[in-house]
Structure 1
């Protein structure tokens, strides 16, 4: 049985988190108003719960669920098994956070009448986003 580790993030919006997870390859993600149970690689129910969940079927045959649980301060913390931390580690969470920031910037642009002028993702993972608003 794998031990689940919790990693604090600065992510707050579940819809943006789902968009970020899609951007890093997870297009099937569950969202719940109340925390739901996470499952281990054998399908066994764990004590850990989360509101945003990537089920193990979408991760890999021997993987556990990956969850994002809302903390008291409103931010999500990643709940990742010790086994899965070998692939879904801090660099992976950094990619998720960057994708979250990109989704947030695009939402801001749309909500405030901006158009995307350029949106370039460099090989090193940096993104250059230029927005314009014509008045």
Structure 2
């Protein structure tokens, strides 16, 4: 019986997802129909697969609506054997924050809007102030 769980994200851009993973120093592969390893040799496929340092992986699968879902054996595999940074809430929180941060910077660059200020608040929130050209 498979223990994989899919968690929907707001991630749409594979390139920005991979940039976020690199920035956070995660080891990963990208491609088509890559194997995501789970509990008792169960597998899923994904376009981006993150190595957790144990025999279980975290994958990102593009859904029909274009949004990526994170797929992993969060409870039986990851939680029991991977480092705490790979546990579902910690991992997805870190990835979503870095993805959003990089996506804001990317959109500003595309539109030619200069970034006036960028800082990390005491609670870990990243604040980016973008100036729209008038």
Q: TM-score, normalised by structure 1?
A: 0.79
Gaps of 5+ in 1: none
Q: In the alignment, does 2:28 pair up with 1:29? A: yes
CA distance in 1, matches of 2:55, 2:37: 9
How many residue pairs match? The answer is: 127
- 1:114 and 1:98, CA in 2 relative to 1: closer, same or farther beyond 3 A? same
Q: CA deviation at 1:73?
A: 1.1
* Greater share of residues in helix: 2
Measure the CA separation in 1 of the matches of 2:115 and 2:9. 27
Query: Structure 2 vs 1, CA of residues 2 and 124 (structure 1 numbering), >3 Å: closer, same or farther?
Result: farther
In the alignment, structure 2 segments of 5+ residues that lack a partner are: none
- Once the two structures are TM-superposed, the CA of residue 68 in structure 1 deviates from its matched residue by 0.4
* Residue of structure 2 in register with 1:38 after alignment: 36
> Equivalent residue of 2:124, what SS?
coil
Question: Contact conserved, 2:37 with 2:55, CA < 8 A, in 1?
Answer: no
1:53 to 26, 49, 52: 49
Matched with 2:65 is 73
Q: Aligned partners of 1:126 and 1:63: how far apart in 2?
A: 32
Q: CA deviation at 1:22?
A: 2.5
> Runs of 4 or more off by more than 4 Å in structure 1?
none
RMSD (Å) for aligned C-alpha atoms? 2.5
Partner of 1:99: 98
